[in-house]
Amino acid sequence: MSCVRKRTKSQELVYQEQCKIVAYENGKRIGLDGDPDLQFLLKGGNLIKVKSRSWRKTRFFRLNDDCKTMWQQTSKTFKRDSGFSLEDVDFVRYGRQTEGLQKYTDLSFEDRCFSVVFKSRRKTVDLIASSKEEAKQWVSGLEKVITGMYNLNRLQNSEHWIYSCMRKADKNSDNKMTLKELKHFLRQINIEVSDSYAEMLFQKCDTSMSGTLEGSEIKLFYDLLTYRKEVDMIYAKYAHTNGQMSSGDLLNFLQYEQREPVSLEYVQNLIEKYEVDETAKQNKYMSKDGFLMYLNHEECSIFNPAHKGIYQDMRQPLNHYFISSSHNTYLMGDQLKGASSTEAYIKALTKSCRCVELDCWDGANGEPVIYHGHTLTSKVLFKDVIKALKEYAFKVTLWILKTLCVWGFFVYPVILSLENHCSVEQQKIMAYHLTSILGSALLTHPLGDQMPNTFPGPEELKGRFLIKGKRLNKLDAAFNNNTTEDVDSVSEEDEAAEVKEAEQKPKDKSSKKIKLAKELSDLVIYCKSVHFSTFEHSRDNHSFYEMASFKESKAMNLAENSATAFIHHNMDKLSRIYPAGSRTDSSNYNPVPLWNSGCQIVALNFQTPCKEMDLNQARFLPNGKCGYILKPEFQRDPASQFDPKNLSVGPWLQKKTLHLTIISAQQLPKINKDKQTSIVDPLVRVEIYGVPADNASKQTHHIDNNGFNPTWNTNFQFTVHVPELALVRFVVEDYDAASHNDLVGLYTLPFTSMQNGYRHVPLLTKRGSLIPSAGLFVHIMALDAE
């Protein structure tokens, strides 16, 4: 076992002073220079960590000087470093807002509690501060730091990451780098070089010939390491004015290369915004450094910033939109023994979900519960779920709003899809909780003063909850005072019936009935569940607000064999698709064929990270991530004869040729961070998902032992016939000849949200979290096909 040499008193003082300098620089970088909340976090303090009624331990927490990670005292003998990265934090909640704190603490602790909730399946950290003021300062400080981190551009993130790695490589913290430390650092940043190359690089930077790198020598090493030849070549191609880019040169670059119809005034504003050299700025020139700064900002991202906010018409009828939808929303894991939790609903809502499922069963003490019936999944109280939905459906923390720069986020309606297995008595309790907790936010009557013949739009339904479920009578009853018996029977919905069918296999339709409480029935307004038999039957017998749920196999069959009829059905009504019950691991089906058929509520298991969920997040990436995407006109026009499988001439056919060059990547993460010798061999695959004629996949060769700055310069060409339905997916993998390639990062977006020209592509983890310092550099040109 290796031991760590203890620093002398004088060395410790020097080290502590250096830590303060580093913390100051990092705090300045995230815009918190001199902020008292940041200083509070850096100083740290004792908090009570709560895991159960009996497990409460005092632990010391503080923010490390990298201003990105929290250090936590641990009682484990051999575990010196403990804590978490703030990049992994989903949100920080003040008060007893988690199931753990509500279960294991008393109400008297309310204003001293806060929780750190993570993006991954890592357990939430529940904490109690010594006072209300201290708890609020912890929350305020953490939110400020997280906001600052997310506001860093790619260049700043890269710089921050590299310097953090350098500090880790500096084993004795003397602010000098030996050749051995340099080799360790190169492995840490995911690049493997020969000893001779490392020595050559070291000697080139060791201008003082002292045998160590320090000060300006480390800066020289950093500049050599981060030099990007491909950017220099682009700059040189357009810098025609004494070796620099004038306003006119930059205008030519933007108009010709980036295909942006911008003015000279716009260009001069870019120079003012991104140029780092004051002399160049005064002369209205853009230097190489300024150009690199511009390339790393939002204007140069592959995702069109014009699509970041809400830009679509939100007053169309509700069924004219794709609606981000979750299945078995209550589950944190699989549907056999996974945990049910209100946290799962909150996580789904923060991923733009606007339709959630509540699988309701009779519970103890007269209180209905939610869980996956007849399994070992845990149970959560129905009323607790409704409280969580009330709290988080239309509300998000300020730092997330600032990060997304989308102030229309989370305002459009949420559909509560009830799978009702409860007795009449507990259905009445459900109705009581819905009305008493949601209050005026619950839609209990059609909008307007007369019977509607079509849906209202998302704009009219802002901030409202809609109940999807069975109803005893027609919606007209809400206007003509038509009464029904207090209790009546209705045909069971397909999905709810599946469970019973599996157990008792009823022989006649009369046994497939459920008793329904009028109190719950009356809350169903625009989403009345009905059984689907044929499109003709639905057209002739069902009103616009009567909707069917389709198991994935049935929906896929209809999409495959009757797509045009399915599309026309969805022009008048809503359709909900759900995964087959056989998916016990909570896996997902491909949602794309269902969107191609105009289905609005294509429900997926949000708790399962997979390609299908990645496609779902990409579909709802534009339009402010509000969970509603307006369907193409050809899926809304009654005269349309669009058939995804058999493409005829029509407004949907806007054939494009996509020319795509994968140029390079920057700062790809290690797959196995515990193994310093594990260097990735990256390759990039580009996939197109859309109508069958557009589905395609191509990949680059792999680069050996370089995840830091690999270069491919590989050209691809794709033909896309229906761009309005196409998604483009970038996947970076670690090549392995002997086994399955490991995922390094990915990014998916709608074809119509891509920008032309030289663009940076951000990379996400499998669970959808941004990898701050990593990205691809590509060239895109989508042209009208001849």
Is 359 annotated in a binding site? The answer is: yes
Of 21 and 39, which is predicted with more confidence?
39
Task: Tell the burial category of 448 from Cβ atoms under 10 Å away from its Cβ (0-12, 13-18, 19+).
Answer: exposed
Structure tokens at 554: 């049935």
Same domain, 88 and 181: no
Contact between 129 and 140 under an 8 Å Cβ cutoff? The reply is no
pLDDT per position as a tens digit, 436-481: 999 999 999 999 988 999 999 999 999 999 999 999 999 988 777 6
Assign 12 a pLDDT band (cuts: 50, 70, 90).
low
What is the spatial distance between Cα 730 and Cα 740, in angstroms, rounded to a whole number? 18
In a domain, 651, yes or no: no
Assign 483 a pLDDT band (cuts: 50, 70, 90).
low
The dihedrals phi and psi of 727, each to the nearest 5 degrees, come to -120, 140
Q: DSSP string of 341-360?
A: -HHHHHHHHHTT--EEEEEE
First to last CA, the chain: 68
Is 419 annotated in a binding site? The answer is: yes
Is 482 annotated in a binding site? The answer is: no
Q: Taking Cα atoms as reference points, which of 566, 549, 558 lies closest to residue 603?
A: 549
Q: What percent of the chain has pLDDT over 70?
A: 91
Of 345 and 175, which is predicted with more confidence?
345
pLDDT per position as a tens digit, 29-40: 888 888 999 999
Residue 563: pLDDT above 60? yes
pTM (global) more than 0.85: yes
In a domain, 313, yes or no: no
Query: Domain boundary residue among 635, 667, 683?
Result: 635
Is 69 annotated in a binding site? The answer is: yes
Of 59 and 189, which is predicted with more confidence?
59
Same domain, 452 and 565: yes
Give pLDDT, residue 242: 87
Q: What percent of the chain has pLDDT over 90?
A: 65
Is 708 annotated in a binding site? The answer is: no
Same domain, 296 and 411: no
Structure tokens at 266: 């716009």
In a domain, 649, yes or no: no
Residue 576: pLDDT above 90? yes
Contact between 607 and 344 under an 8 Å Cβ cutoff? The reply is yes
Query: Domain boundary residue among 587, 606, 635?
Result: 635
In a domain, 648, yes or no: no
Assign 488 a pLDDT band (cuts: 50, 70, 90).
low
Give pLDDT, residue 399: 44
pLDDT per position as a tens digit, 227-286: 899 999 999 999 999 889 999 999 999 999 999 999 999 999 999 999 888 999 999 999
Same domain, 631 and 661: no
Query: Domain boundary residue among 151, 170, 188?
Result: 151
Same domain, 181 and 274: no
Is 544 annotated in a binding site? The answer is: no
CATH at 171? 1.10.238.10
Please say whether the dihedral angle defined by the alpha carbons of residues 26, 397, 385 and 630, taken in this order, is positive or negative: negative
> Does residue 327 carry a catalytic annotation?
yes
CATH at 497? 3.20.20.190
Give pLDDT, residue 247: 95
Same domain, 145 and 164: no
Same domain, 81 and 132: yes
Is 273 annotated in a binding site? The answer is: no
Residue 413: pLDDT above 70? yes
In a domain, 643, yes or no: no
Contact between 126 and 49 under an 8 Å Cβ cutoff? The reply is yes
In a domain, 99, yes or no: yes
What is the spatial distance between Cα 470 and Cα 321, in angstroms, rounded to a whole number? 23
What is the spatial distance between Cα 753 and Cα 163, in angstroms, rounded to a whole number? 34
**Residue span of the structural domain in which 251 resides:** 229-300
Give pLDDT, residue 25: 83
Tell me the three state secondary structure of residue 636.
coil
Q: Taking Cα atoms as reference points, which of 448, 455, 459 lies closest to residue 411?
A: 459
Distances 154 to 117, 633, 748 between C-alpha atoms, Å: 25, 36, 18
Among 160, 307, 320, 327, the active-site one is 327
CATH at 707? 2.60.40.150
Residue 565: pLDDT above 60? yes
Same domain, 341 and 400: yes
Is 80 annotated in a binding site? The answer is: no
Assign 166 a pLDDT band (cuts: 50, 70, 90).
confident
Give pLDDT, residue 405: 44
Give pLDDT, residue 580: 92
Tell me the three state secondary structure of residue 441.
helix
150's CB contacts (< 8 A; 6+ apart) are 399, 403, 770
Is 72 annotated in a binding site? The answer is: yes
Same domain, 587 and 701: no
Average pLDDT over residues 425-429: 97
Report the mean per-residue pLDDT for the chain. 89
Same domain, 278 and 418: no
Is 57 annotated in a binding site? The answer is: yes
Is 67 annotated in a binding site? The answer is: yes
CATH at 50? 2.30.29.30
Tell me the three state secondary structure of residue 781.
strand
pLDDT per position as a tens digit, 193-211: 788 888 888 899 989 999 8
Residue 224: other Cβ atoms inside 10 A: 11
Same domain, 540 and 681: no
> Does residue 372 carry a catalytic annotation?
yes
What is the spatial distance between Cα 370 and Cα 359, in angstroms, rounded to a whole number? 5
Give pLDDT, residue 7: 60
**What's the domain count of the chain?**
5
What is the spatial distance between Cα 36 and Cα 40, in angstroms, rounded to a whole number? 6
Is 74 annotated in a binding site? The answer is: yes
In a domain, 640, yes or no: no
Average pLDDT over residues 73-97: 77
Contact between 677 and 633 under an 8 Å Cβ cutoff? The reply is no
Chain-centroid distance of CA 540 in Å reads 41
3-state secondary structure 690-725: CCHHHCEEEECCCCCCECCCCEEEEEEEEEECCHHH
Among 160, 307, 320, 372, the active-site one is 372
Angle between the N-to-C axes of helices 264-274 and 288-295, in degrees from 0 to 180, rounded to the nearest 10: 100
In a domain, 4, yes or no: no
Same domain, 513 and 389: yes
